[in-house]
Amino acid sequence: MTDRDPFAEGERAARDNIPAGANPYSDGSDEHALWAAGHEKVAGAIEGRGSDGS
């Protein structure tokens, strides 16, 4: 049995520029929410670094 971490998978997906819509988990599941949260955490940080405030 493999221990999957949906949050970490979402973070990795965002770093790899995989869109949030590619979430592999069933909509409404805990895993889907965790994957989305991980993706948003990294995607938000990436967007923040790219912003120059103008």
Tell me the pLDDT band of 48, cut-offs 50, 70 and 90: confident
The rounded distance, in Å, linking the Cα atoms of 50 and 16 is 16
Question: Tokens 């889907």, residue?
Answer: 32
C-alpha of 7 from chain center: 7
Please, what's the largest Cα pairwise distance for the chain? 49
pLDDT digits (tens, 9 = 90+) for 7-43: 999 999 999 999 999 999 999 999 999 999 999 999 9
The whole-number pLDDT of residue 46 equals 81
Tell me the pLDDT band of 3, cut-offs 50, 70 and 90: confident
The rounded distance, in Å, linking the Cα atoms of 54 and 34 is 32
The whole-number pLDDT of residue 34 equals 98
pLDDT (mean) for 46-51: 74
- Look up residue 11 and give its two tokens: 């973070």
The answer to pTM > 0.75 is yes
